[in-house]
Amino acid sequence: MLSFLLRRLVVAIPTLFVVVTAAFFMMRAAPGNPFSTDRKLPPEIEKNIEAKYGFDKPLVVQYADYVGGVLHGDLGPSLKYRDKSVLQIIQENYRVSLTIGLSAFIISIFAGVSLGVIAALRQNGPLDYMTMGVAILGVCIPTFVTAPLLQLVLGSQLGWLPIASWNGGSLPNLVMPVAVLALPQIAIVSRLTRAGMIEALHSNYVRTARAKGLPEFQIVTRHALRAAILPLVSYLGPAFAGLMTGSLVVERIFGLPGLGKFFVNSALQRDYTVVMGMVIFFATLIIVLNLLADVLYAALDPRVRLA
Amino acid sequence: MSLLTLGARSPETAALMARAVKGRSLWDDARRRLLRNRAAVASMIILGLMVLGAIVGPFLTPYAYDEINKNDVWLAPLTGQHLIGSDSLGRDLLARLFTGLGVSLAIGAVATTVSLVIGVTWGAVAGYFGGVVDEVMMRVVDVLYSLPYIFFVIILMVTFGSNFILLFIALGAVQWLTMARIVRGQTLSLKQKEFIEAARAVGLSRLEIIRRHIVPNLLGPVVVYVTLTIPGVILAESFLSFLGLGVQPPMASLGTLIANGAQDMELAPWLLILPSITMVVTLMCFNFIGDGLRDAIDPQDR
């Protein structure tokens, strides 16, 4: 188990390093300097600004400074919000993203697994076709289509839910963003679960359990499901990445003051340090989550940790 | 001549025998299975029509996609000169839809080709050479796999400006990872086959073996994955365009059309609904074709 963990860490640390390096050099490769875009500044002021942000030093020194800063948890100052650091911006805005992201994550796993199990138990029945039909739709309808359509129907035509805004995170305001975010993940999770369940239900140990006369419920939950959700565990990392990507659009459409909206706005305003800082932040989250998923997988499946 | 040698047999039997001798290749079988899959066939027909529409459509509509008509603002479908309505600048939605569909499909095709070239080369080389080369190359894939790639595409688009060619390359360059994994796995198993050993015995170089013998035999799984990559790329492009980072106005893609439609959806819901339907139908077609191809080429996978 320990060597397995070590091997995973050996991949995770260079990954982070690649992220930081790629982020830095992409930022520096940008043509022009971020301050010259708005209006012409007197040369001495421009020099002062460049000195303040360290742009006058050689590239290698800048890179070393940046990596050193990141290692200390310092992602640099924002270029547009003059008196804020990137870290402050992340701290001030992560709650909204965390709330909708986590809710969508939990909902998609529970709903997806339930739907997948039901579909597998009724394989090739009408219920199966219905669930899988919904799953295909969920994969094929992008979030930036579902979100405005829901706003149009539930928000403006029927008036059941508020069209947009955060409103302190009250439940009616959360329903649509979370649903939109969760739908594609529900679809994928249910397809994975269905495939895993069908395989597990045809395996020998499930037949043994049946032969022993165990109640069907116990066979499904205790025997089949445990094996069936294994592929799901390795999907947790990508699912999380998918949710983050989705939150870029969802937060923008529903006007939620979260990291996704900030990321897009900063990107459009060319606030490079904020964009880089957030990429590093998101990448770290995804890498840590992938690591946790690997550990979970190893804990659930002895074949992995013994191999 | 064959009829003469067959002597007294009737032409029908001769034809029958000729067919029996010819046999059915793997691809014949696959095509037959694919054509029996109704969802896949329907998808291929719809997609064919869409491609045709994207190519021919812009020449058939009376308006250009970027033609502003001040008197025709926000016309509903079937009310005026515009068959399926017009937008806030009086631009013809049908013309924009054809153009947008074409742009989205083109990006899908080009970016997928980029990902195909990188992925197949990477995977085949890693799988065939094996050992340290394989270890290092696949580690690189692992590392890139755990990155939120869309964020990197966003940075690329921001730093270098939303440039058409860059968009193609950026989207393709981030989509090759799964392809590389699939190809590597296939190559590993192909490597053990006798005909590769024969090629080696004949004295072909390793790169020559990869090019002449490994890559052609990878076709099946690669074709399947290509049909699943195209919708992924179209989706990613539309996603960027929706955020204002992809295709720039007045050019249209399905993503920009949906984004514009979402802004005016209360006044002109058709501007949102029609492009959305087009997008969803396109993605579904590719998915059905991909699933159908997978079942057809590799039936034991089911």
Supply the ipTM of this predicted assembly: 0.78
Closest residue of chain B to A242, computed from CA coordinates? B148
Minimum distance, in Å, between the CA of residue B214 and any CA atom of chain A: 29
Cβ atoms of residues A86 and A273 within 8 Å: yes
Cβ of B148 within 8 Å of Cβ of A275? The answer is: no
Substitution target in B43, B139, B147 with the highest count of A β-carbons within 10 Å is B147
Separation of alpha carbons B129 and B127, rounded Å: 6
Describe chain B by its helix, strand, coil percentages, rounded to 5: 75, 0, 25
Q: How does pLDDT run across B62-109, given as a tens digit for each residue?
A: 787 777 777 777 777 777 777 777 777 778 888 889 999 999 999 889
Q: pLDDT confidence of A223, banded at 50, 70, 90?
A: confident
Cβ atoms of residues B82 and B67 within 8 Å: no
Closest residue of chain A to B151, computed from CA coordinates? A279
| Residues 6+ positions from B263 with CB-CB distance below 8 Å | none
Q: pLDDT confidence of B5, banded at 50, 70, 90?
A: very low
Cβ atoms of residues A303 and A233 within 8 Å: no
Closest residue of chain A to B135, computed from CA coordinates? A11
Selecting from A144, A148, A278 the residue whose C-beta is nearest the C-beta of B239 gives A144
The gap from C-alpha A256 to its chain's centroid, in whole angstroms, comes to: 16
- State the Cα angle at A283 between A279 and A285, rounded to 5°: 120
pTM above 0.90, yes or no: no
Question: Does B258 reach chain A within 8 Å, measured CB to CB?
Answer: yes
Cβ of B262 within 8 Å of Cβ of A253? The answer is: yes
Cβ of B143 within 8 Å of Cβ of A18? The answer is: yes
Question: Does B42 reach chain A within 8 Å, measured CB to CB?
Answer: no
Q: How does pLDDT run across B127-181, given as a tens digit for each residue?
A: 888 888 888 888 788 777 767 777 777 777 777 776 777 777 778 877 888 889 8
Separation of alpha carbons B21 and A107, rounded Å: 58
Closest residue of chain B to A15, computed from CA coordinates? B143
Q: Which residues of A are less than 8 Å from B266 in CB distance?
A: 152, 156
Span B252-280, average pLDDT: 87
Selecting from A140, A156, A248 the residue whose C-beta is nearest the C-beta of B284 gives A140
CB contacts < 8 A, A to B, total 127
Cβ of A23 within 8 Å of Cβ of B156? The answer is: no
Q: Which two tokens stand for residue B88?
A: 């806030």
pLDDT at A282 over 60: yes
Q: What is the pLDDT of residue B101?
A: 92
Substitution target in B137, B152, B159, B272 with the highest count of A β-carbons within 10 Å is B159
Residue with tokens 């939950």: A221
Q: pLDDT confidence of A43, banded at 50, 70, 90?
A: confident
Separation of alpha carbons B140 and B124, rounded Å: 15
Q: Which residues of B are less than 8 Å from A26 in CB distance?
A: 152, 155-156, 159
Angle, nearest 10°, between helix axes B219-242 and B254-263?
30
CA torsion, points B133, B135, B140, B145, in degrees to nearest 10? 140
Which SS3 state, helix, strand or coil, does residue A30 take? coil
Question: Does B174 reach chain A within 8 Å, measured CB to CB?
Answer: no
Cβ of B243 within 8 Å of Cβ of A248? The answer is: yes
Q: Which residues of A are less than 8 Å from B245 in CB distance?
A: 267-268
Alpha helices in A141-170, H assignment, sequence order:
143-150
Separation of alpha carbons B123 and A123, rounded Å: 36
Separation of alpha carbons A253 and B233, rounded Å: 22
pLDDT at A31 over 80: no
Q: pLDDT confidence of A182, banded at 50, 70, 90?
A: very high
